[in-house]
């Protein structure tokens, strides 16, 4: 075993995290946690993970659930393609593996939403296989310790990091070592405010020796985020709001949202004309503009509250639903819609 690995394993046993709800779980539970932890902090994931496992305790239950039920529990966690891929993967496991989570790395790797590092993490943590992982925390630890410059998202830099991840992998105690790498990145070798004095591998850390801890790993090349504008039509009949199911692909895919006008030149009359409906409009008011940031752009949303005298004819069809305001919070809705609910209730 390499000295690097043995120091990390010893540190994890004494100082690592041991109370996370997915530690000691089966492959299914570890898989759910690994998907949720992509792009999301542990503290945010824990309550979602517990609710998800309580509702969908195994592959078969998840596979047989509706997409709406899955996304309702995912609502607020963001990156909703992860939830849709979990559902699709569970259906694939039920169909092809009789509901048993596969043990084979290649079989795991072909499941929707799973890449090389996630498949390796399941194999290492659940089955104790000798597999290297390379999530965001591990990239940071290895980049600093080995002195690998550049943005980890660059293919050449990522290749160097994978090479080191493979070289440093121990022959035994792989699950403990894997957990140690993740714990180090999350608690000691963090993005900001690193705690180098308590690092078990500080003696031969290149970044520490060369005073480059704050430089490594390199940052993503910065580009100004494009800004887009949209209008939410909050069609309110008494205490019920009209929601439309978003297409499966794109932002908020598969979630329920108010009708949305993407084009600044479009208006309420354009929406009504396109859908062949007659709006009995009693009052229209504009709520506070809100901004939601995605990975690749910012979206400025103008919410228009339209109080109706009656429900329009021909508006109820598949993909549309009227929901009471008190019931919407339990539906599969994105975070911006959830944050609008207090404004809507106060403006009634």
pLDDT of residue 263: 61
List, in sequence order, every residue forming a beta bridge with 320; answer none if it has no partner: 244
Q: Domain end: 176, 209, 242, which one?
A: 209
pLDDT of residue 58: 97
Assign 330 to helix, strand or coil. Answer: coil
With respect to residue 216, please indicate whether it lies within any of the assigned structural domains: no
The model carries a pTM of 0.84
Q: Which residues carry out catalysis?
A: 34
Residues 190 and 282 in one domain: no
With respect to residue 80, please indicate whether it lies within any of the assigned structural domains: yes
Take residue 254 and report the two structure tokens written for it.
């598969």
Residues 204 and 231 in one domain: no
Q: Are 243 and 256 in contact (CB under 8 A)?
A: yes
With respect to residue 252, please indicate whether it lies within any of the assigned structural domains: yes
Residues 168 and 265 in one domain: no
What is the extent of the structural domain holding 300? Answer: 227-347
Of 80, 52, 88, residue with least CA distance to 334: 80
Give, for all 348 residues of the chain, the pLDDT tens digit: 579 999 999 999 999 999 999 999 999 999 999 999 998 999 999 999 999 999 999 999 999 999 999 999 998 898 899 999 999 999 999 999 999 999 999 999 999 999 999 999 999 999 999 999 999 999 999 999 999 999 999 999 999 999 999 999 999 999 999 999 999 999 999 999 999 999 999 999 999 999 999 999 999 888 888 999 989 999 888 889 999 999 887 788 889 999 988 765 567 777 777 777 777 777 888 888 999 888 888 999 999 998 888 877 666 677 888 899 888 888 899 988 888 888 888 766
pLDDT of residue 146: 97
Q: Domain end: 181, 209, 237, which one?
A: 209
With respect to residue 214, please indicate whether it lies within any of the assigned structural domains: no
Q: Which CATH number characterizes residue 254's domain?
A: 3.90.79.10
Q: Is the dihedral of CA 328, 330, 331, 333 positive or negative?
A: positive
With respect to residue 103, please indicate whether it lies within any of the assigned structural domains: yes
The one-character DSSP state at 202 is G
pLDDT of residue 115: 96
Q: Which CATH number characterizes residue 69's domain?
A: 1.10.340.30
pLDDT of residue 279: 76
């Amino acid at each position: 075993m390499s000295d690097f690995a043995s120091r990390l394993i010893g540190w994890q046993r004494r100082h690592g995290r041991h109370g996370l709800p997915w530690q000691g779980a089966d492959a299914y539970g570890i898989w759910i946690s690994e998907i949720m932890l992509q792009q999301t902090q542990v503290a945010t994931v824990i309550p979602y993970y517990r609710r998800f496992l309580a509702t969908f305790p195994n592959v078969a239950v998840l596979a047989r659930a509706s997409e709406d039920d899955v996304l309702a529990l995912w609502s607020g966690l963001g990156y909703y393609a992860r939830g849709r891929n979990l559902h699709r993967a569970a259906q694939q496991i039920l169909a092809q593996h009789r509901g048993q989570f596969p043990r084979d790395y290649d079989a795991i790797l072909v499941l929707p939403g799973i890449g090389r590092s996630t498949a390796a993490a399941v194999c290492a943590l659940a089955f104790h296989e000798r597999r290297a992982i390379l999530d965001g925390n591990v990239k940071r630890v290895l980049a600093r310790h080995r002195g690998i410059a550049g943005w980890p998202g660059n293919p050449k830099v990522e290749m160097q990091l994978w090479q080191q991840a493979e070289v440093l992998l121990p022959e035994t105690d792989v699950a403990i070592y894997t957990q140690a790498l993740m714990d180090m990145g999350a608690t000691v070798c963090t993005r900001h405010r690193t705690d180098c004095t308590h690092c078990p591998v500080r003696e031969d850390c290149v970044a520490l020796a060369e005073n480059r801890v704050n430089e490594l790993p390199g940052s993503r090349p910065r580009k100004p985020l494009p800004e887009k504008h949209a209008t939410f039509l909050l069609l309110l009949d008494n205490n019920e709001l009209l929601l439309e199911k978003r297409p499966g692909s794109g932002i908020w895919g598969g979630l329920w949202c108010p009708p949305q006008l993407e084009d600044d030149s479009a208006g309420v009359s354009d929406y009504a004309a396109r859908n062949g409906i007659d709006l009995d409009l009693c009052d229209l008011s504009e709520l506070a503009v809100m901004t939601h940031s995605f990975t690749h752009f910012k979206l400025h949303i103008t919410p228009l509250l339209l109080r109706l005298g009656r429900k329009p004819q021909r508006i109820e069809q598949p993909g549309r639903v009227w929901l009471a305001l008190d019931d919407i919070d339990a539906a599969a809705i994105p975070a911006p819609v959830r944050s609008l609910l207090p404004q809507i209730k106060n403006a009634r």
